[in-house]
Amino acid sequence: MLTGIVFWVLAVIAVATGVAVFRVDSMARATYALAASFIAVGLVLLLVDLEFLGVITVLMMTMEMAVMGIYMIMFMGMNPALMPMDMVHGKRPALAVATGTFVVLAAGALLIPWPTRRGAPAADLVTSLGEAVMESKMLVMMTVSPVLFATIVAALVLALPKGRYDRLGDDLRAGKARR
């Protein structure tokens, strides 16, 4: 009973703050709203005994949104980040696509005869996750690792000043021909 009430409170907070991301009049407020949505979902994960994933979701997204706030102020100045804004295009088509998607997904959630639960969660879920990552699912983690490393390299190549895009512009082939 109590779990159900807490779930619905968190669900309403998650969706309401999610909507607020695109309704509030500044990007800084939108960032805080998105952080609140993620924290609510992280707490829902705790309700289904996903302690490790719930905690890392809350911690990671709180830090990520803090970085996003700093980023906006650093690159866009105080005004665009904190002043009212309404920069959208194709509002009606976007609303129609989003509504259609929700209807299809909701219909699927409600109409599909979902199977009953198979098996029971492990006594210690964090330990079971750790064992899976280090044993049967190690290949997944070994795939994720180079992806993260490639992301670091690619992000630095793109973001650093004096990189090839700054020297040669968008048209790298033309730049090469000029040299």
Partner 1 sequence: MTLQTMLLVAAALFSVGLYGAISQQVVVMVMMGLELMLNGVILAAAAFWWFLSPTPDGQVLLLVVITAMTVEMAMGFAVATLLHRSRQSDMTDMATDLSR
Q: Binding to partner 1 (CB under 8 A): which residues in 48-87?
A: 48-50, 52-53, 56-57, 60, 64, 68, 71-72, 75-76, 85, 87
Q: Give Cα 81 distance to the centre of its chain.
A: 20
Two tokens, residue 43: 């707490």
Residues 74, 35: Cα–Cα separation, whole Å: 19
Q: Give Cα 140 distance to the centre of its chain.
A: 20
Residues in 110-139 at the binding interface with partner 1, rule: CB under 8 A = 110, 114-115, 117-122, 125, 128-129, 131-133, 136-137
Instruction: Check binding of 19 to partner 1 (CB under 8 A).
Output: yes
Residues in 134-153 at the binding interface with partner 1, rule: CB under 8 A = 136-137, 140, 144, 147-148, 151-152
Burial class for 62, CB neighbours closer than 10 Å (0-12, 13-18, 19+): middle
Nearer to partner 1, 82 or 132 (CB): 132
In the complex, the smallest distance separating the C-beta of residue 177 from partner 1, rounded to whole angstroms, is: 19
In the complex, the smallest distance separating the C-beta of residue 126 from partner 1, rounded to whole angstroms, is: 9
Question: CA angle, corner 151, sides to 145 and 152, nearest 5?
Answer: 95
In the complex, the smallest distance separating the C-beta of residue 114 from partner 1, rounded to whole angstroms, is: 6
Q: Give Cα 86 distance to the centre of its chain.
A: 22
